[in-house]
Structures are given as C-alpha cells and as structure tokens.
Structure 1
C-alpha cells in the first residue's frame, strides 16, 4: 500500500508539476533541545516538509537549493546595530525562543536564523529571475522589528530581503500576504517607509492597529468558511504585485497552542490554492511562518504541494516523516557496516578455546561499536549533537544485569559527558520475541532545569530533544535482529504518554485505564498531570490510584488486540486529581 500510494502521488505530481525552487538546509532544524517541551514547536518542521515533498514527488531533488547565510550588511538595512549585537548573547535568544539560556548554542542558532534569511533573499532573487514560485522552508519571521525581536523571530527575513532587493535596483510593488494567525507587527515596523509595498493580513489576535497594514481580525475559533470568505475580500483589495511574499502560517489550525483560529488541514490547503491561483505568473516567495501543533508541518507541506502541483490531496494521516526517513536510511546501510552475522564461526570457537584474543564485545551479539557510531552518524544524530556543543564522540558497550548496555559519551567544555544510555535485552513478551528496553536515558548536561524547562519525574538532567530519533533507531534495531517489536515498562505517566502513538499496553485492561487517564487529564499540562500521578494525587473512580508500570509494546507487524476489552475498561473508569500535593511529598 505505501508504495502504491507514493506512486499515485508521483503520477499526479508529474502531470501537474510547475517549476518551483525549494530552499532548504538540514541546519534549518532549530538547535534547541528544549523547544518542544517549552513551546510546543516542532524543531524538525523544515526536515519533515522537505522529506515529504521529495518522497511524494511534488518536487524533484533537482529543485532543492542550499541557502547561504545572509550578510550582516543586509540585516543592517532594517535592524539596529543594538539588536544585531544582542543576538550574540544567549539571554537574548532564550527570550526570543522561550527557552532557558543554558539551552542556547548561540552560534548555531544565529547560523540557522541567518541561513533562513539568506534563503528568503536568494528565493526572492530566483523568483524575480524565473517568475516561478519559490519556497523557503524556514522563514516568515514577521515579529522581528527594526530594534526588537520576539515570538520565535530573531531577525526579519522578509524585510531584509526586500531591502536588499531595493538596494539592487528593484522598484516594483512588493506585497506581503501575512496569513499567519498573528499580526505582522515586525514587518509593519520594518517596511513603514517602503512606499511601494503593501501588507495584507488575516489574524486571530487583535494587537491593535498597525501602520500601513490591511488587517482583518477574525473571531476566536473562526473556521474554514469564514476564513476563506475573508481571504477573498483581502485578495480583492490587494494591488497587483511585482513580487509577493506569502506567509502561509501553520498556526491557523484548530488546537494550535498559540493561534486562536480553527481551520482544518483542508481549509489551510484551500487557502494556499486560492492564493496560488491569484498569484499565477507573479514572482512569489512562500514561507512557513508560525505553527505550534503536531500538524503544523503538514500545513506547509501542503503549501508546497499546492504551489508545485495544484493538488489538494491530503497527506495520509498515518504518514510519519521521521519513520519514513529512517526506514529509507536503514535500507541503505549494509549489514557488514553495522555488526556481525551472529552465526557461530571458526573465530568464535578459537576465542572460546583461548587460541586467539577476545574481540570487542558485540551489542546484542550483533552490533559493533563502530557500527553503532556509523548508524548514529547516518541518522543525523551526531551532527545534531555537534550543533548542541558536543564533540569527540565515543560509543561503549558492556554487560548490564540483565541485558547489554549501550552508552554514548562526548566532550563538552573540556569534560567527557554521558549523553545516551540504553540497556537492551532480547526477551519474550506476549508470546513473541522482542527487543526489550530496560533503561533509556538521553541527557543534555549543558542544559539546566528552569521555569521554562521544569524537571519531570525521574529526570537527572534535561533531555536532548532526540527521543523520537532514539525510538525509531530502536525499532529499526529490532527489525534488523529479526524480532517482532520493542517493549518496555514506563515508570512514569509522561513516558507512557510520549510513547502512546506507537506503543500500547500489552494487557487490554491496562490499556483501557491508560486511555481513560489520558482522556480525563487532558485539561492539565503534561508536567502537572505526571506530577499528580507520581505524587499519588490521582483518583480512579473516587479511590487513590497508584501508577501501574506494566509492559507496553510496539509491534513491527500488526498484532491482534482485544479492542472490546480496551473500550470496556476505558468506559468503566474515570480519573480525577487532587490539586494539592500529598502530605510529605514535594512538587
């Protein structure tokens, strides 16, 4: 099915494809390990969009362009020197991105922002030359003003690009269609004296009047019909542009953490198609702007699909870009580069008889240390850790009780630190052989806990923001070892909550109680709910409830489940919580 589905997308895209350029770099991943926890931002969004556009066939690999960092001279055209100087301080960047200063690798984060701004400028030059649409997969930093920055916008790529083009001789009418859920306050400030420009905006938040902005503020929760009707009016008032910047914000979706609108994915796609039709033949740069929900990446992936092919086909709901990407990479890594076959050889016999020196320990009887390090490199994990400030990586195996232990060390600030630690064992669960994870720890010793990144139960230091990558690698290890899946016992509610999309409790009654708990604690932030569980403040049907650390499993092939028993238990129980910590326990 996945192959046929991918083929169908490719055929449709081939029939309707337009020439587009896509500006993207792996360094577009925002190098902040605490960003997901603190702000709900998906730091991999640009990666996800790029992978989907390529896999679906919406754009060919030849359409990808690598951005270059924008020169400070171009930023200086729109920003004060005081603001640009302040971006060299982790405290400034921490405020802009709502993280703790200890979580900020200053040079890497500024490099990412400058690459995004460079991508917007280069995309604008390209679209003026070809008159074909251009996409930049990171950008639309519309809250950065001449002397201010905030709201995840360290510098203003649209204003800097337009100012550079003006300096190069572009005199035409520039239109900024800001379809993010928040007002373009920074762009308005930066373009206040640019007479040939026009800014149109549809927002879900009223921040007061903005100079020279045609803005419509919609009521909270406004859905597809009202939004698209408002868009028709805005496009009717828009002057015919010589260059357009479209901020196709992903925070317009219902349920977005910071946006207040209520669009569906289909509504966002139809928004983009309507704008693409209106801008047919106009040089245009499309930018993702904001988005603070799990589906935000799907919005701009849909934008790219519409701009490139005109197709409204939805992205399959079960498509996981990280899972698909890692599976593709795994298929290109030969067995001999990871480990040994596991068959008992003549060399094994000679070692057992003491006739030759013992070789290095194999993890799970298969993986070599160099093989695991190679895999960590191929999956991009070592590159990401390097961007976080680590170097000189070292993989180590030893025997745990039970199982085999994998540890990854790296040097930071002159000290060797433990970053990853896993204890694995082959074990039988529910009658099937699985890769059992006794222990998993991802540690960022450079970061610290704070109000913006509070400690969760069981944590010694903040995490690395790599839990999803670690999960995908573990599943691929199980597949390569010929096992049926992965299993573990979540010691904390937040651990089970994070794994719930792929894992389920083996016991159907336990799964039903867990689903009821997720349902009934939905009104609490995750930290508050997991603290309530760990502190004994949860009631099940009016009685005190203690967390059940039972086995959860992820099966590589679908396994039969007693869904009726799950539903019956889910319907039978109800959870509530006491707001005050239990006596004698701290928060």
Structure 2
C-alpha cells in the first residue's frame, strides 16, 4: 500500500488537479436488507471514498459535497404524478427491492436527491472549469419520465442535461453507458433528442431502445470480447462537447445481477479506453450498478484511473472499513471513551476493589457514554437513526456470561433493544481474545417475507450492520491488547456471514467448512442453513451435524495449519438430503 500511495501522489500532481470527487454521507441507502437480497453494497460510496483517501488518490481540495437536487429541476424530466408517487413507501419499495414497512421515505429521498444533486452540480462545474468529475453514487439509467426501477428512482443524467440546457448550453452531449444493463430509462428520457448520443454495451437485451447505439454481448463475455466491442462503439461516437459516463461495477465476473465476466483489470482498461476516447471533453462519471463483493473495487479503480491515471491493482486483502476504523480509532479521545479526564481518589478505590463502581464499565474500561461516543464516530449510531430510531443510547451491565452492552432506540411508540452483545476476555488455542458470547442485531421496524426469509435463530430481521459491529469489536480487542475476536456460530449462516475474516480455531474444522462452501455454493443460503439445522447434511453420504466450534478473527498471525486445512477440504464432499426423500441435492 505504501508504494501505491507514493505513486498516486506523484501522478495526482500531474493529472489530479482537474478532477473532482463528489460524495455525501447520505449516499448510503438506509435499507437494512438491500445487500443480502440483491448483492448491492449500500456502503459502496463510503468504501471507495475511504480507499481513495487512504491511497492518497484524493485530497481535501478535490472532494465536493453536493446539495439536494431541486424539485423543479427533477420536474424538467419527470412527470408531476410520478414525482408525487415517490413519497409513497410502495413506490420506493418496488424500486429498491425493499419491504415498505422498514422504509423511511424521507431518508431514502434524501439519498436520492443528494445523489442526483451531485451529478447536476458536477456537470455545472465541469462545463465551466473543464476536466473530470466522479460522482460516487449516480448513473440511474433505468428511470424514465413516468416510471422507474432497478435502484433508479430519478434519472440524474437526464436531469443534469435538462439543467444545462435550461442554463443555455447547446453543445452535443454523449452518454457512454458501460454498465452491464441496458439504459432503458435514458432511451425514454432522450427519445427524439438528436443533440444527445447514447452508446451502451450490456450483457443482456431488453428489446430495442430507440436512439441508443446499443451493443449486446453474449452472456459471460470476458475482457477481450468486451474491450473489442467497446473500441468499436467508441469509434462510432460523434464529436462531443460534454460527456456523461456510467462506469458500472456490475460488469465483473461473479456479479449477482450482471451477466458479463470481466476481470478487475479488464474493468480498469475499460475506463482507460473511455477516458482516452473523450480526450479533453469535460465529463461527469457516475457509479452505475454493482451487485457483488468486488463492485466497490471497480468504482475505486475508476477513481484511481480518473485522479491518477493508475492501472495499479488494489491489494486483494485490502478492506477500506478496516483502514477507516483504524484511522477513526486514533482520533478518539481516551477520556471520552473511559469517562474520566483525571484519576480521582474514588477511581483509585474502585480500581483496588475497595468500593463498588458507581457505573459499570465494559470490560472494566468503557463507559456507556464512551460506547455511544465511539459508535457515533464509526457511523453506526447515525445510521441507526436513519433507519427510523430516535433517542439512541447505550447501556452496560454485568450478566452471568460476562459484560453486556446494549444499544437501544425508540420507534413505533416504544423502546427497543437494537444491539445486544455479551463479551469477556478468554483464551482460545492458548491466545487471549475478546470472546463474544452473544450478538444480536435487531430491526423491529422490519419484517420477514418471502424475499427476506427468517433464518434459524432469528426473532426479527437484522440491522444490516454486522460488518460495522465486527470491526468495532476488533478495535476494542486491539485496544485491550488481545489477539483476536472469537465467537461460536450456532448456525451455518452465522459462520458463513463471517467467512471473510473469521476462521475456525481448529484447522480440520476450517477445512470442512471451506468444503461446505465449495460444494453447496449453488444452493441458496437459507436452504443450506436449514439443512444443517435439521440434520440433512451428508459428508460422502454419511450423516453429519453442524459443528458449532469457535471461530476467530485473528488480528495478527493466524495459528491455522494450512496444510491440514487443505487436506481436510480435499477429503470432504458435502451434499444435502431432501426432507421428503433420501435424495441427494448436489
């Protein structure tokens, strides 16, 4: 990462001074289930911003904060009836594949308006000053004047174009759509407008799109096929006075909704080709879609290309949230966390056990106010508020299993426990770790449905904050001088959700877990976890039960024996037996 930083710093001084990056803290959609249901990473804009800052690809002067788009500007493209429908939970739930009971209309509209406002303001800025702008949340190409879908509530590019036209710009505009899906909304918005050229390369056809220079590639098209098609499309692009680019992250292999199979390197080459084809034409680049674990890296790669002209790969193990939480932790006040600026005689007596503490401290260190302070700076409490909870606060007490911390908030006329965690210090494989006896993340505003089924052990749907809480626990462990965070997953899905950072303490158990993921990867998670809970798992035809053993997120070197892991993984072969008969499901 150090080499990447210094290379970016040098390159940015040459090319980055004409590049703006637009971001707002509200770019994260306040929908707790959107990631699990569709693969869309609601944190993507934040992850990319954190990476670009950590990689020295941007500095403070390049970062811009948008205002909300004005309704009268939205009305230049969208019908009044449609705009009024956006105030209805049912409309937004359909667009964002969400349950309307958990949808906070005002907060979702805030995200939409800030994202659209960023595209509008970036277009104004680049038209005046030239150069390039990157909006980390935009490119809503499925929104038509009177309808929308596919995470696109308003068409920010069409709105920005209408604003520029209203302010006197008469030049030719090109829209280069290199998202994996067809720009049906753009076609509807620009129908009959010969001053706008739309070029698109996608992985599936939704029927003819009037006015769009569309290339539909076969399913699974890889780098070479895609880039050759892109070169041909760019050769047909007319001379432009202004450009919009939708640099979708759903073009890479493994995307849940995209049908193409580019590599991350191929996506970066895509961006370079578009950048070179545009030359000195002022342009606004937008994020487009992305429904997989790697989608943030596609957008981050676009950011590196635009700010630094860099083709350097992002380190495979790099996690922006880990870097961000580490940086935030260095800024937290010890006095605010621990609740005392100076050691008093009373504090000394409590430390020596001569008097009971006036207020319990988590692991003998953090006060409830300190927990609130840290969770606020990590962005967890602000996001909980956006989910519709008020008077969010923390409480600490001691229970049989250890120290308990709860985060509570008010909604629907009552107080709810939203986060509950029971912790203690413990030794696992001869190492001191932070042991999590119990962790519950609950969103009582949400409900289970066919799209969001109830998993074993769940009483209410989750908050969508497991990743944030996990990193917060890791920071606590590190501050206490511990070597990891451990828990015992009672269900397959709780182990599966931690698979990228946690490993089983036992090497053979880890090997079998990796074999399960390999063999059952094409079966929905809900089916696998139910089969494991119901005793329908088979290893080489022999009945096996779910082994709830310790998993650990090692903060330093892992003690796993990789040779044993590989041997056990190779020797295992898992199947599921259907409940109604003894038939194996491969």
TM-score, normalising length: structure 1: 0.96
d(CA) in 2 for partners of 1:193, 1:109? 32
What residue is the counterpart of 2:193 in the other structure? 194
- Work out whether 1:241 is the aligned partner of 2:243: no
What residue is the counterpart of 2:270 in the other structure? 271
d(CA) in 2 for partners of 1:97, 1:227? 28
What residue is the counterpart of 1:139 in the other structure? 138
What residue is the counterpart of 2:427 in the other structure? 428
d(CA) in 2 for partners of 1:383, 1:205? 39
8 Å contact from structure 2 (residues 18, 130) kept in 1: no
Distance 1:426 1:569, change over 3 A: same
Describe the superposition over 1:518-551 as per-residue Cα deviations: whole angstroms up to 9, x where unpaired: 1111011111211111122111110111100001
Alignment of 1:155-166 (within 5 A): 155-166=154-165
d(CA) in 2 for partners of 1:119, 1:418? 36
d(CA) in 2 for partners of 1:355, 1:309? 61
What residue is the counterpart of 1:506 in the other structure? 505
- Give the C-alpha shift of residue 14 in structure 1: 3.5
What residue is the counterpart of 1:448 in the other structure? 447
- Work out whether 1:101 is the aligned partner of 2:100: yes
- Work out whether 1:339 is the aligned partner of 2:338: yes
What residue is the counterpart of 2:407 in the other structure? 408
What residue is the counterpart of 2:206 in the other structure? 207
What residue is the counterpart of 2:78 in the other structure? 79
What residue is the counterpart of 2:569 in the other structure? 570
- Give the C-alpha shift of residue 340 in structure 1: 6.5
Describe the superposition over 1:364-389 as per-residue Cα deviations: whole angstroms up to 9, x where unpaired: 11111111010011101111011111
- Work out whether 1:478 is the aligned partner of 2:477: yes
Task: Give the match's secondary structure for 2:397.
Answer: strand
Alignment of 1:389-404 (within 5 A): 389-404=388-403
d(CA) in 1 for partners of 2:278, 2:577? 55
- Work out whether 1:39 is the aligned partner of 2:38: yes
Distance 1:213 1:465, change over 3 A: same
- Give the C-alpha shift of residue 335 in structure 1: 2.0
TM-score, normalising length: structure 2: 0.96
Describe the superposition over 1:419-461 as per-residue Cα deviations: whole angstroms up to 9, x where unpaired: 0000001111111111000000000011111112111111111
Number of equivalenced pairs: 582
What residue is the counterpart of 1:218 in the other structure? 217
Structure 2, gaps ≥5 residues long? none
Describe the superposition over 1:311-338 as per-residue Cα deviations: whole angstroms up to 9, x where unpaired: 1111111110111100000011132221
d(CA) in 2 for partners of 1:194, 1:352? 75
8 Å contact from structure 2 (residues 28, 44) kept in 1: yes
d(CA) in 2 for partners of 1:3, 1:329? 19
What residue is the counterpart of 2:90 in the other structure? 91
- Give the C-alpha shift of residue 59 in structure 1: 1.8
What residue is the counterpart of 1:533 in the other structure? 532
Pick which of 490-499 and 3-12 moved more: 3-12
d(CA) in 2 for partners of 1:575, 1:69? 52
Distance 1:424 1:191, change over 3 A: same
8 Å contact from structure 1 (residues 13, 311) kept in 2: no
Task: Give the match's secondary structure for 1:17.
Answer: helix
Distance 1:59 1:539, change over 3 A: same
Describe the superposition over 1:142-164 as per-residue Cα deviations: whole angstroms up to 9, x where unpaired: 00111111011111101111111
8 Å contact from structure 1 (residues 535, 582) kept in 2: no
8 Å contact from structure 1 (residues 537, 581) kept in 2: no
Task: Give the match's secondary structure for 2:338.
Answer: coil
- Give the C-alpha shift of residue 83 in structure 1: 1.2
8 Å contact from structure 2 (residues 265, 313) kept in 1: yes
Distance 1:291 1:236, change over 3 A: same
What residue is the counterpart of 1:58 in the other structure? 57
Task: Give the match's secondary structure for 2:18.
Answer: coil
What residue is the counterpart of 1:254 in the other structure? 253
What residue is the counterpart of 1:284 in the other structure? 283
What residue is the counterpart of 1:382 in the other structure? 381
Task: Give the match's secondary structure for 1:73.
Answer: helix
- Give the C-alpha shift of residue 5 in structure 1: 4.6
8 Å contact from structure 2 (residues 51, 320) kept in 1: yes
- Give the C-alpha shift of residue 571 in structure 1: 1.2
Aligned CA-pair RMSD: 1.9
- Give the C-alpha shift of residue 103 in structure 1: 2.3
What residue is the counterpart of 2:514 in the other structure? 515
Distance 1:349 1:316, change over 3 A: closer
8 Å contact from structure 2 (residues 483, 555) kept in 1: yes
8 Å contact from structure 2 (residues 4, 312) kept in 1: no
d(CA) in 1 for partners of 2:563, 2:351? 52
- Give the C-alpha shift of residue 118 in structure 1: 0.6
d(CA) in 1 for partners of 2:279, 2:3? 31
d(CA) in 1 for partners of 2:348, 2:47? 47
- Give the C-alpha shift of residue 10 in structure 1: 2.9
- Give the C-alpha shift of residue 7 in structure 1: 3.5
What residue is the counterpart of 1:312 in the other structure? 311
- Give the C-alpha shift of residue 480 in structure 1: 0.5
d(CA) in 2 for partners of 1:171, 1:8? 39
- Give the C-alpha shift of residue 350 in structure 1: 3.8
